Amino acid sequence: MRKKIVAGNWKMNKTYDEGLELAREVNEYLRYKEGAEGVTVILGTPFIHLAKVAHNITEANLSVAAQDCSAEKGGAYTGEISAAMIASTGAKHVIIGHSERRAYHGETNALLAGKVNRALENDLGIIFCAGEVLAEREAGNHFEVVERQLAEGVFHVTAAGFSRVVIAYEPVWAIGTGKTATPDQAQEMHAFIRSVVAKQYGDVAAADTTILYGGSCSPANAGELFSRPDVDGGLIGGASLKAADFFEIIKARAKR
């Protein structure tokens, strides 16, 4: 089912205690403050926080995601974390294909397809990231790039598998730069993504697919972005590191 989702991606931020405190604050906001009705909130924490945060949170609309998983099932892969290990912490989702992993860890669409398989085998929901770099947008290739990332990274799964996938459109030129895509640019790409999902899985599945926008989303611009019909929510980096800012974005999603 298509949902209103606001997911935080803490990236490589927060020590163990700081992370537990941030998760506690978000949980308290959702518990005691008005304004988050109908929004599903996900915390994409570092691996070290997953088990404890999953254990501590109390709110039904709050859950935890890992930021990556291995494409391997297990074994001699020093430093890697498997999807089975993530699921065993109580985390419910995993972010796959973030542009920072593609850029700094050489993650290819083929590798990401393997990660998607491992996540589904372990009953994890997937937030699958796709997005173009600035040169690709300037050359007018952004639709083609995003379609290929989806086709090669995630469209191999069955319709049942795809129902566990949320897509995050994250233009790389907007991530951490303070340069947000305009609401029109986001809507245009989200509508395009929905059309390629429809080609692959049919109109009903496309209408049910949740598509998030990510890239310098903040309390100041979230409302406008979420007002667009194909923007179902956000994947939030920097602004998810302060509970008050994150909650403002959640409220902006609830209002629309």
What is the closest distance, in whole angstroms, from the C-beta atom of residue 74 to ligand PEP in the complex? 27
**Per-residue CA distances from 175 to 80, 100, 121 (Å):** 25, 9, 30
170 part of the interface to ligand PEP, by CB under 6 A: yes
Choice between 170 and 206, CB closer to ligand PEP = 170
Is-catalytic flag, 98? yes
3-state helix, strand, coil in the chain (%, to 5): 50, 15, 35
State whether residue 215 is helix, strand or coil: coil
The pattern of x and - marking residues 206 through 225 that bind ligand PEP according to CB under 6 A reads --------xxxx--------
97 part of the interface to ligand PEP, by CB under 6 A: no
What is the closest distance, in whole angstroms, from the C-beta atom of residue 240 to ligand PEP in the complex? 7
8 part of the interface to ligand PEP, by CB under 6 A: no
Q: How far apart are CA 131 and CA 143, in angstroms?
A: 9
What is the closest distance, in whole angstroms, from the C-beta atom of residue 15 to ligand PEP in the complex? 19
Q: Tokens 């008050």 label which residue?
A: 244
The pattern of x and - marking residues 174 through 193 that bind ligand PEP according to CB under 6 A reads -xx-----------------
Is-catalytic flag, 121? no
Residue 16: other Cβ atoms inside 10 A: 11
Burial grade of 171 (CB within 10 A; 0-12, 13-18, 19 or more):
buried
Among 97, 35, 96, 90, which residue's Cα sits nearest to residue 63?
90
Which residues pair with residue 62 across a beta bridge? 41
Catalytic residue among 107, 132, 136, 170: 170
Q: Which residues are catalytic?
A: 98, 170
Residues in the site for ligand PEP, rule: CB under 6 A? 9, 170, 175-176, 214-217, 235-239
